[in-house]
Structure 1
């Protein structure tokens, strides 16, 4: 009987050691994974109340920590996107104020930054004034 208790104690010690390793490695704490790494049977973990309690508590703590880490990561990402949206909104407001600070007759001259390029590109392909062939046609 004493030998059996000693064997059970050694198995429990091994289970605790494996739980500590899995925590450090951020591994999945399950009954089967713990049994495999500890070199004990899954039946031992299911049937031995102390072993089952150790693994279940460790698994619950691990899940809680993973959930908390995921929640914190999600909050950081949301804060980043919220800040980007606020910055974009502030820039839009600033640009609108700048545009509307010009008299109405000058507002027409405020164009999209690429509009000059588009205009030039259209003339080049349509044989417009910027086309090298246009100068030959005009002479």
Structure 2
């Protein structure tokens, strides 16, 4: 019986909702859109160039343009004389064999003389050294 009463009550409620009773007016929602414009002025400055530390420049001595040709060279090893002439700045050294052979390995030759000993000469000019085996 309780079930029947409950079912009837629910039916009445359902019918009452559909009975055509005036319903409340729908709510009206008004939407406003506002647009805001902002202007910004930006001044860009370039980034400074990175600073690179540089070591102080080491002064390079100017190469000598002239040098004095060694005088007492007779009896020296040709390789030792060549080292000395290179240290003085002479770039061109010509070795003439007293026997007419080709001078290849300086350490095997002995100096018999040199052209213009004791004279000042431009280091760009050739120095002629006479050697024997």
Common fold by TM > 0.5: no
- Which structure is higher in strand share? 2
TM-score range, shorter chain: under 0.3
Structure 2 length-normalised TM:
0.21
Structure 1 length-normalised TM:
0.20
- Which structure is higher in helix share? 1
